[in-house]
A and B are shown apart, each in its own frame.
Chain A
Amino acid sequence: GAVVSQHPSWVICKSGTSVKIECRSLDFQATTMFWYRQFPKQSLMLMATSNEGSKATYEQGVEKDKFLINHASLTLSTLTVTSAHPEDSSFYICSAPPGTRQETQYFGPGTRLLVL
């Protein structure tokens, strides 16, 4: 099946630094990718929709200047957490629908962020 990778798988950083997380579709092209955040024992919460060649669409309550999204190519989307704070510590997961089958999604393995 389709594979989505994320890098890094985990990161620890100091408060105030910026962290970049990559999401790649390995064997298909994805014009759209989704970024989720998941807190312990909670469900996935959609943060934003990443669109190749255009601006990302953010969900209500998600600061676009805080979470910068760049969809540089049909196989890569990046999420940058700027000026990270301890409350940003979470599990970040991306997903991508292959091709035009928008209702099928493949999830990445997730990136665990810990901000000290």
Chain B
Amino acid sequence: KNQVEQSPQSLIILEGKNCTLQCNYTVSPFSNLRWYKQDTGRGPVSLTIMTFSENTKSNGRYTATLDADTKQSSLHITASQLSDSASYICVVSAGGSYIPTFGRGTSLIVHP
């Protein structure tokens, strides 16, 4: 069964600090992994997308890494801002399927 596990479930940090969110998956065969940011009451917005051959991808202060061997990904947020407060969702797609597997998300709160 395809599964995506995210940790931590929630995280509180101070503005300006860095943080790293984790995603472990058992989706097979692996096609791509995406990180989304979802603000409260909004639809998810794509941050990064990585395929099997990509190890890292950046989008501004967001850097995602992928280890396809261990089936792990991380999302690193640098110099956090108050606007980074949101839910971050890891989504993994299997090859040949357009129905992805969603993680439960990590709720990030950035305090001033």
Contacts of A44 in B (CB 8 A): 44, 89, 102
Contact code string B96-110 (vs A, CB < 8 Å = 1, else 0): 001110111101000
- Number of B residues with CB within 8 Å of any CB on chain A: 20
Contact code string A25-52 (vs B, CB < 8 Å = 1, else 0): 0000000101000000111101001000
- Tally of A-B Cβ pairs under 8 angstroms: 43
Within the assembled complex, what's the spacing in Å between the Cα atoms of A110 and B45? 12
- Mind listing 24 A-B residue pairs with CB under 8 Å? A4-B43, A41-B107, A42-B104, A43-B89, A43-B102, A43-B104, A43-B105, A44-B44, A44-B89, A44-B102, A91-B41, A95-B43, A97-B98, A102-B98, A103-B31, A103-B32, A103-B98, A104-B49, A107-B36, A107-B44, A107-B45, A108-B43, A110-B41, A110-B42
